[in-house]
Structure 1
Amino acid sequence: MKKLVSNIRYYFERNGFYVSSRLADRLGMRVKSVRLFFIYVSFATLGVGFAIYLTLAFWLKLKDLIYTKRTSVFDL
C-alpha cells in the first residue's frame, strides 16, 4: 500500500507539477513570472468572491430593514 501511494505521488510530482515550467517555456517567459501570475490571480478571484458575498449580505440586510411587515399601526 505504501509503495502504491509513493508511486502515485511520484507520478504527480513528475507530470503534474511541471505545468508552470512547460507553460513558461511555451510562452517564452520566466517560470517565476508564471507562478507569480497564478498566485496573484488566485488571490484576486478569492477577493472578488468575498466582495460579492459581502455586498449581497448587505443588500439582504438592508431589504429586511426596509420591507418589514408591521402588524398594526402601533409598531411604528
Structure 2
Amino acid sequence: MIQRILTYFEKYSFGVCAYLGERFSVSISKIRLFFIYSSFLAVGFPLVFYFLAAFVLDIRTYIKRIRTRTWDF
C-alpha cells in the first residue's frame, strides 16, 4: 500500500525536486528531505516556494508545447 502511494507521487507529482536535482546535480531524495525539514523549521515557507516553482514549470512546459505546434507546418 505504501509503495503504491510512493509510486503515485513519484509519477504524478509536480517534478520540482526532479528538475532541481537534474539542474544542480544533487540527489532528488536530498532535495525532498530539504523541503520537508525546512518546511517544519520555516513554518511552511518552502511549500510556498515549491508550489510557485511547480506553477512556473507547468507554464514552461505548456509554452514549449505551444511553441512546437506553432512551428510545425
When the two structures are superposed, what TM-score results if normalisation uses the length of structure 2? 0.47
Greater relative CO (CA pairs within 8 A, separation 6+): 2
Question: What TM-score does the superposition give when structure 1 sets the normalisation length?
Answer: 0.46
| Structure with bigger gyration radius | 1
